[in-house]
Amino acid sequence: KDTASSAFVVGQKWGAVGANRYLIRQVRAKMDFVKSSAAVKLLKSELTEGILIEDKANGPAVIASLKSTVGGIVAINPQGGKEARAHAVSPLIEAGNVFLPDPGIEPWVEDFIDEWCAVPNGAYWDQVDTTSQALTWMRKYDDIVMTAPFSLTGSSHFRGRV
């Protein structure tokens, strides 16, 4: 349900060039099944090769309703806890290989950075967890454009690293 007490649903679109990872787009809101499905379709419409959907909460219903009309959906069941997953991708971030859009263009970037800075004590982990799952998946499949759970170069849209 998309009520005030609901958890956030996050969808992200990522790109890769060599070792660098680029967060291209993010959708984050409190969404019910219908809105979650619409968000998946929106991100898929943007030339996305793969769509990872967490096989929890309303994920199985979204997968079941879209798998015959939206190609590339992969159900995932993340291993370990959220903090462990975030820790596992921290070397990639610390090495300067993860780029975010300019906050002047994409205002949500400030909240994204704040959420990462609050780990492990922050109230929300949805953006952190989506990012860690996307970066983990991308280690398996280099140079793809994908949408992370519901998971360039030289562009002025990207102004720095995480």
Residue with tokens 């998309």: 2
Smallest Cα–Cα separation from 20: which of 74, 91, 103, 97? 97
17-39 pLDDT per residue, tens = 888 899 988 999 998 889 888 88
103-119 pLDDT per residue, tens = 999 999 999 999 999 99
DSSP string, 51-108: EEEESSTTHHHHHHHHTTTSTTEEEE---S-HHHHHHHHHHHHHTT-EEEE-TTT-TH
- Of 161 and 22, the one with more pLDDT: 22
Judged against a pLDDT cut of 70, whether residue 144 lies above it is answered with: no
User: Tell me, what amino acid is at 126?
Assistant: D
Q: What is the pTM of this model?
A: 0.81
Mean pLDDT (the chain) is: 81
pLDDT at position 132, please? 94
